[in-house]
Amino acid sequence: MKKQEQENVAPRPISRSDVAAYFGKPESGFRDRLFVIIFEAETRAGRRFDFSLIAAILLSVVVVMLDSVSGINYRYGGILNALEWFFTVAFTIEYIARLWCVKHPLRYARSFFGIVDLLAILPTYAAFFIPELHALVDLRLLRLLRMFRLLKLTAYVEEYSVLGSAIMASRRKILIFLSVVAIVVILNGTLLYVIEGGPHSPFSSIPTSVYFAITAVTTVGFGDITPQTDLGRAITSVTMLVGWSILAVPTGIITSEMTAQRFAMKRPPNTRTCPVCLTTGLEENARFCRNCGAKLPLFARD
Amino acid sequence: MKKQEQENVAPRPISRSDVAAYFGKPESGFRDRLFVIIFEAETRAGRRFDFSLIAAILLSVVVVMLDSVSGINYRYGGILNALEWFFTVAFTIEYIARLWCVKHPLRYARSFFGIVDLLAILPTYAAFFIPELHALVDLRLLRLLRMFRLLKLTAYVEEYSVLGSAIMASRRKILIFLSVVAIVVILNGTLLYVIEGGPHSPFSSIPTSVYFAITAVTTVGFGDITPQTDLGRAITSVTMLVGWSILAVPTGIITSEMTAQRFAMKRPPNTRTCPVCLTTGLEENARFCRNCGAKLPLFARD
Amino acid sequence: MKKQEQENVAPRPISRSDVAAYFGKPESGFRDRLFVIIFEAETRAGRRFDFSLIAAILLSVVVVMLDSVSGINYRYGGILNALEWFFTVAFTIEYIARLWCVKHPLRYARSFFGIVDLLAILPTYAAFFIPELHALVDLRLLRLLRMFRLLKLTAYVEEYSVLGSAIMASRRKILIFLSVVAIVVILNGTLLYVIEGGPHSPFSSIPTSVYFAITAVTTVGFGDITPQTDLGRAITSVTMLVGWSILAVPTGIITSEMTAQRFAMKRPPNTRTCPVCLTTGLEENARFCRNCGAKLPLFARD
Amino acid sequence: MKKQEQENVAPRPISRSDVAAYFGKPESGFRDRLFVIIFEAETRAGRRFDFSLIAAILLSVVVVMLDSVSGINYRYGGILNALEWFFTVAFTIEYIARLWCVKHPLRYARSFFGIVDLLAILPTYAAFFIPELHALVDLRLLRLLRMFRLLKLTAYVEEYSVLGSAIMASRRKILIFLSVVAIVVILNGTLLYVIEGGPHSPFSSIPTSVYFAITAVTTVGFGDITPQTDLGRAITSVTMLVGWSILAVPTGIITSEMTAQRFAMKRPPNTRTCPVCLTTGLEENARFCRNCGAKLPLFARD
């Protein structure tokens, strides 16, 4: 059967025992208990820790967002600043605890979530020197990707892998699609630059014209840059119609892939064969061959 | 068979007898006749009542909408005001009648349609004190959801349940999708705030920038806020392309779900049964029972 | 078989003989020859007539469009005006010829294409009295729908009927979808009117606010009206995300319908049965039963 | 079997040997070695040549784009100009080499890629006389279509042909769809011109109004032209809803086509053959040949 290739495309869910094996779980003592709380979601303490972590991340992002609104900043700036330092210190302690309780701290520090954890605390410290970086504290949101890891352990495995493998299986088609879109958009932008460009035109350079072509193809259409000449409008009309129509292509790719995977998933290949008359495709729970009536050997499937 | 789970997903249509059982239908007399007219759509009087109710709701919404247009308000303000009071009084009487003719008025008052009925009359009275609330009379539109209940009883059951169950069955995938979109949009907005933000920039706060990121991802693109720097435009270009492409994902989810449900529905149930052991669902071309090995009688299908 | 219902949904192509039967084809003479040229596309003369008609319609529409451009009007106004009168007179003669050569002129005058033919010549005459109506000459475009009738006779029948029947079969689902969108849009517009409305706000009335809500839900986003308050922007953000996501619903409806019809079309119900062993589903071209080897009776299908 | 038609729709990949046969590969010597390097991608030298060509094209496009940005032009104009001349000369040499090493230079010059190669070098020379044409150097991007030919030889064949044949198989449906959109858009634009048009209105001519109608139907909505009257807004609202909804149609066409092709492809060809009359495509569970009635040997599938 050639079906197996397809099934391998689905990303293997990372189980907690992998984490323990990779980062190194300490044998016993306080470090071990901390490891269980911080890294394992199956225990009650670990689950509680994960949920309070998610709540803290969401709260700290809300704090950063509110802090950027000038009216709120003016009134509650002090409290929000204090809150942000509280969260930063808490996340710093958590980061150090994570590094301390695994056997191979460098491995954790270099892993995806290790880097994200660091990015979540750096901006507040960096804002001492470059205040503009302050808002980057929102990179904390990436920590929420943990949430998926958490949820994946319960009920989201199947949904996640169908979506992921549909996109993975179509990646080449999507790449071709995006290459064609890129060529269309650059050529279109250049053409508009030649037609509309001028000293006082908003089509001041090719990159700007390409930016406009992207707003037209994706049907966004901000309207800050628009063609003024009849020829420019005619070309843009074609661009809009093309962009609007070819949206059907990625949708077709993903949808037909998902439909196919769903049907492949629902009907596993049935290869049970009668040893007497060699009829294939016998039902899983059959006890006698439907064609010759021979008694079938019992077998446990999978 | 695992088919049953799927079929349970479809919401059970609420039949009128449930309504009678839940709110309590009076045994006899005028209250009983009123109950039949107001709550039951099967009788001629009930059907006539329902249709005039829908007409009244639509008319009263049109009245409120026209009243908000200053030119029309100036000329016909008096008539429109009178009409609105007429509808409000009529709906108030209807609301009281509904409460009066059921056995358990509190149950009705706390039900979804009970609350909607109250919301439909409150704004006119509330506008005495807070004139701004006047336009909320449009909440009457929610009463039109009754229409679906009415129509559902005749021909819309199947369509409604296919749509509903396709969305229900995909709710986890849709939730994951919306979470990813939320993270993308917040991070993107923050990034644009850092790059484009400034005292005179429209990217005045993170929430505003997130609002802009949403207009870009959803391909709405109002254009009231637009990036001015080259870097901001480059990032926005990526956002637009991402938003435009991933629209394929919810479409793929719903479409493949609907296609699957349609095929599951179309396949007729297999009712071939072994006359000896009564096993059902035997294959069409089976000559012996798969369970007991008994020779099956020949039969012409359809 | 329940398949027949589905097939009946596809609109029956209107054949020329129907036209002759309905409008009445004259027995002989010049009127008959004219009828053949004007109404029948199978003959060489008729086909030539149809193609020159389409060319004339397209040309006359181009003339009207160019005439509306002030620069071109200023220079070539005289020629364009002459051309338009030429086409109008030609279409008037054609219209009279159509009425004259059928047996039941009133039936033709009241048919869809009869009305369209009249609409195609009226605006030029009407522009004598009300010059603004002049541009409505473009209603001539509707005459191009004849083109589909022409093309349908050759190769477009299947494509047309698949598209048409997919939309017809989904009409109730689409109606429900559009009702929900209408309710969402009106309630949303009212809410924004209450929040954003004011003497100097662009949200000047409920209809205007509903217009804005439609631009947001459909992801058009002109940007002539935009929310200025934070609350208004938050509500609009939700509207945009909802509109963007639920676009998946009509796509899902049409796509799953088309996929289903395609599969239903490809596999016609096979009911050929062996008269000896009663095995069903025998292949069309089989001469012997695949199960018992009995010689099958020959039969012409369809 | 009617399956063959479908499979023929997929475009036959152009193999290198076809190129050699069509343009004429020289027998030996330096010209032959050059032909192998320039036209054949299977050898190591040819592959290296193709990749450096792609890199050169991309780099030269980046140079042209940067050159159009006034700030960068001001500072690095000299270097960028020199780089562009370097690439132009290199591509000119390559073009001459291509013409020289094939047996039929005229055939190559008139082929699609021959014209593209010429277009890639002409603008720089033409800019001597008409500086505005300078930016058209970006037509070089079309040379990247070679990339697909290159990639197609390795792994992209299947993806490419599925996409291509899905679009090819639906071309008539897509044509009908685009004709309907064209008619809708022109009639809509004319209607808005009649309603909104005026001396100071942005709806200054029918072509401009059609341009607006296209921005509304495709949900782009630049907002440079917007209706101001209530009637105009009502019509535009309908246009937006129609455009938003009928996007489902091309998506449905492409998706159902791709799903169908995928299923057609997945089903393995049935090669069971009668040993007596050699009829192929016998059903899996057949016990007698459907053509000659011979008893078939039992066989285990897969």
Instruction: Please report which confidence band the pLDDT of residue B233 belongs to, taking 50, 70 and 90 as the band edges.
Output: very high
Of these ranges, A239-248, A284-293, D264-273, the one predicted with the greatest mean pLDDT is A239-248
- List of residues 6+ apart from C101 with CB closer than 8 A: C26, C31, C32, C34, C35, C38, C39
Instruction: Please report which confidence band the pLDDT of residue B282 belongs to, taking 50, 70 and 90 as the band edges.
Output: low
CB-based contacts of A289-298 (< 8 A; 24+ apart in sequence) = A289/B288, A289/B290, A290/B282, A290/B283, A290/B285, A290/B286, A290/B287, A290/B288, A290/B289, A290/B290, A291/B286, A291/B287, A291/B288, A291/D285, A292/B287, A292/B288, A293/B287, A293/B288, A293/B293, A293/B294, A293/B295, A294/B293, A295/B293, A296/A272
pLDDT of residue A135: 66
The number of CA neighbours under 13 Å toward the Cβ of C109 is 9
In the predicted structure, residue C233 carries a pLDDT above the cut 80: yes
- Span C113-127, pLDDT tens digits: 788 888 888 888 877
D120 CA to centre of own chain: 18
Q: Are C273 and C261 found together in one domain?
A: no
Q: Do C163 and D173 touch (CB under 8 A)?
A: yes
Q: Which pTM was predicted?
A: 0.77
- Span B172-181, pLDDT tens digits: 777 778 888 8
In the predicted structure, residue D270 carries a pLDDT above the cut 70: no
Q: Alpha-carbon distance C54 to C147, whole Å?
A: 7
Judging contacts by C-beta atoms under 8 Å, the chain A residues touching residue C260 are none
In the predicted structure, residue B208 carries a pLDDT above the cut 80: yes
Cα–Cα distances in Å, from B27 out to B19, B38, B96, B103?
15, 15, 19, 10
DSSP chain B: --HHHHHHHSPPP--HHHHIIIII--SSHHHHHHHHHHH-SSSHHHHHHHHHHHHHHHHHHHHHHHHHSHHHHHHHHHHHHHHHHHHHHHHHHHHHHHHHHSS-HHHHHHSHHHHHHHHHHHHHHHTTT-GGGGGGGGGGGGGGHHHHHHHIIIIIHHHHHHHHHHHHHTHHHHHHHHHHHHHHHHHHHHHHHHHH-STTSS--SHHHHHHHHHHHHTT----SS---SHHHHHHHHHHHHHHHHHTHHHHHHHHHHHHHHHHHHHSPP---B-TTT--B---TT-SB-TTT-PBPPP----
pLDDT of residue D217: 92
CB within 8 Å of chain A, chain B residues 267-296: 282-283, 285-295
In the predicted structure, residue A102 carries a pLDDT above the cut 80: yes
Judging contacts by C-beta atoms under 8 Å, the chain A residues touching residue D143 are none
In the predicted structure, residue A277 carries a pLDDT above the cut 70: yes
**C245: distance to nearest CA of chain B, Å?**
7
DSSP D167-223: HHHTHHHHHHHHHHHHHHHHHHHHHHHHHH-STTSS--SHHHHHHHHHHHHTT----
Residue D124: inside a domain = yes
When pLDDT is averaged across residues B95-102 and rounded to a whole number, the result is 88
pLDDT of residue D215: 93
Residue D1: inside a domain = no
When pLDDT is averaged across residues B7-31 and rounded to a whole number, the result is 59
Considering only A40-49, C64-73, D207-216, which range has the smallest mean pLDDT? Answer: A40-49
Higher pLDDT, C95 or B12: C95
Instruction: Please report which confidence band the pLDDT of residue C56 belongs to, taking 50, 70 and 90 as the band edges.
Output: confident
**Above pLDDT 90, what percent of chain B?**
8
Q: Do A215 and B251 touch (CB under 8 A)?
A: no
Residue D172, strand partner residues: none
The answer to whether residues A277 and A291 touch, using CB atoms and an 8 Å cutoff, is: yes
Nearest to B32 by CA among B118, B101, B122: B101
When pLDDT is averaged across residues B296-301 and rounded to a whole number, the result is 56
Instruction: Please report which confidence band the pLDDT of residue B129 belongs to, taking 50, 70 and 90 as the band edges.
Output: confident
Residue D6: inside a domain = no
CATH number at residue B224: 1.10.287.70
When pLDDT is averaged across residues D142-152 and rounded to a whole number, the result is 55
Average pLDDT, chain A: 76
**Above pLDDT 90, what percent of chain C?**
10
Q: Alpha-carbon distance B219 to A214, whole Å?
A: 11
CB count in 10 Å sphere of residue A22: 15
Interface probe with D: pick from B233, B255, B262, B283, most Cβ of D within 10 Å: B255
Higher pLDDT, A236 or A21: A236
Q: Are D110 and D231 found together in one domain?
A: no
Q: Alpha-carbon distance A134 to A121, whole Å?
A: 11
Q: Are C34 and C115 found together in one domain?
A: yes
pLDDT of residue B247: 80
In the predicted structure, residue B132 carries a pLDDT above the cut 80: no
Nearest to B221 among D221, D255, D285 (CB): D221
- Span A196-233, pLDDT tens digits: 877 788 888 888 999 999 999 999 989 889 998 889 99
Instruction: Please report which confidence band the pLDDT of residue A194 belongs to, taking 50, 70 and 90 as the band edges.
Output: confident
Q: Are B256 and B274 found together in one domain?
A: no
When pLDDT is averaged across residues C131-160 and rounded to a whole number, the result is 59
Q: With 0-12 CB in 10 A as exposed, 13-18 as middle and 19+ as buried, what is D192?
A: buried
Q: Are C66 and C137 found together in one domain?
A: yes
In the predicted structure, residue D76 carries a pLDDT above the cut 50: yes
Of these ranges, B3-17, B241-255, C109-123, D227-241, the one predicted with the greatest mean pLDDT is D227-241
Considering only B29-38, B121-130, C22-31, which range has the smallest mean pLDDT? Answer: C22-31
- Span A135-162, pLDDT tens digits: 676 666 666 665 554 444 444 555 556 6
Q: Are A68 and A139 found together in one domain?
A: yes
Higher pLDDT, C140 or C29: C29
Count of structural domains, chain D: 3
In the predicted structure, residue C204 carries a pLDDT above the cut 70: yes
pLDDT of residue C25: 74
Q: Are A38 and A138 found together in one domain?
A: yes
**Above pLDDT 70, what percent of chain A?**
72
B202 touching C, CB under 8 A? no
Average pLDDT, chain D: 76
Residue D280, strand partner residues: D273
pLDDT of residue A283: 64
Q: Are B90 and B192 found together in one domain?
A: no
Q: Are D51 and D140 found together in one domain?
A: yes
Considering only A286-290, B265-269, C102-106, which range has the smallest mean pLDDT? Answer: B265-269
- List of residues 6+ apart from B280 with CB closer than 8 A: B270, B271, B272, B273, B274
Q: Alpha-carbon distance C137 to A54, whole Å?
A: 64
In the predicted structure, residue D242 carries a pLDDT above the cut 60: yes
In the predicted structure, residue A12 carries a pLDDT above the cut 50: no
The answer to whether residues A51 and A144 touch, using CB atoms and an 8 Å cutoff, is: no
Q: Are B20 and B151 found together in one domain?
A: yes
Q: Where among B110, B137, B156 does a domain terminate?
A: B156
Judging contacts by C-beta atoms under 8 Å, the chain C residues touching residue D172 are 155-156, 159
Domain that residue D213 falls in:
163-266
**A186: distance to nearest CA of chain C, Å?**
23
When pLDDT is averaged across residues B226-242 and rounded to a whole number, the result is 90
- Span B29-67, pLDDT tens digits: 788 888 888 877 667 888 788 888 888 888 888 888 888
Average pLDDT, chain B: 76
In the predicted structure, residue D4 carries a pLDDT above the cut 50: no
When pLDDT is averaged across residues B125-146 and rounded to a whole number, the result is 69
Q: Do A206 and D299 touch (CB under 8 A)?
A: no
pLDDT of residue C217: 92
Considering only A45-49, A259-263, B8-12, C183-187, which range has the smallest mean pLDDT? Answer: B8-12
A259 touching C, CB under 8 A? yes
C219 touching A, CB under 8 A? yes
When pLDDT is averaged across residues C158-183 and rounded to a whole number, the result is 74
Residue D293: inside a domain = yes
D222 touching A, CB under 8 A? yes
Instruction: Please report which confidence band the pLDDT of residue B281 belongs to, taking 50, 70 and 90 as the band edges.
Output: low
Q: Are B170 and B125 found together in one domain?
A: no
Considering only A7-21, D37-51, D88-102, which range has the smallest mean pLDDT? Answer: A7-21
When pLDDT is averaged across residues A263-284 and rounded to a whole number, the result is 61
- Span B136-148, pLDDT tens digits: 766 666 666 655 5
Residue of B nearest to C216 (CA): B220
Instruction: Please report which confidence band the pLDDT of residue B171 belongs to, taking 50, 70 and 90 as the band edges.
Output: confident
CB within 8 Å of chain C, chain B residues 107-166: 132-133, 135-136, 138-139, 141-142, 144-145, 147-148, 155-156, 159-160, 162-163, 166
Interface probe with C: pick from D3, D184, D194, most Cβ of C within 10 Å: D194
In the predicted structure, residue D90 carries a pLDDT above the cut 80: yes
Residue A76: inside a domain = yes
Residue A273: inside a domain = yes
Residue of C nearest to D241 (CA): C218
Nearest to B255 among D222, D230, D255 (CB): D255
Residue D11: inside a domain = no
Higher pLDDT, A291 or A17: A291
Interface probe with D: pick from A205, A211, A259, A262, most Cβ of D within 10 Å: A205
Residue C78: inside a domain = yes
Q: C: neighbours with 3+ CB pairs under 8 Å?
A: A, B, D
DSSP chain D: --HHHHHHHSPPP--HHHHIIIII--SSHHHHHHHHHHH-SSSHHHHHHHHHHHHHHHHHHHHHHHHHSHHHHHHHHHHHHHHHHHHHHHHHHHHHHHHHHSS-HHHHHHSHHHHHHHHHHHHHHHTTT-GGGGGGGGGGGGGGHHHHHHHIIIIIHHHHHHHHHHHHHTHHHHHHHHHHHHHHHHHHHHHHHHHH-STTSS--SHHHHHHHHHHHHTT----SS---SHHHHHHHHHHHHHHHHHTHHHHHHHHHHHHHHHHHHHS-----B-TTT--B---TT-SB-TTT-PBPPP----
CATH number at residue C35: 1.20.120.350
Nearest to A136 among B190, B221, B282 (CB): B190
**A151: distance to nearest CA of chain C, Å?**
23
Instruction: Please report which confidence band the pLDDT of residue D134 belongs to, taking 50, 70 and 90 as the band edges.
Output: low
When pLDDT is averaged across residues A175-202 and rounded to a whole number, the result is 83
pLDDT of residue D264: 63
Q: Are A256 and A278 found together in one domain?
A: no
Considering only A241-245, B91-95, C110-114, D263-267, which range has the smallest mean pLDDT? Answer: D263-267
pLDDT of residue B211: 93
Nearest to B219 among A61, A166, A218 (CB): A218
Judging contacts by C-beta atoms under 8 Å, the chain B residues touching residue A223 are 221, 223
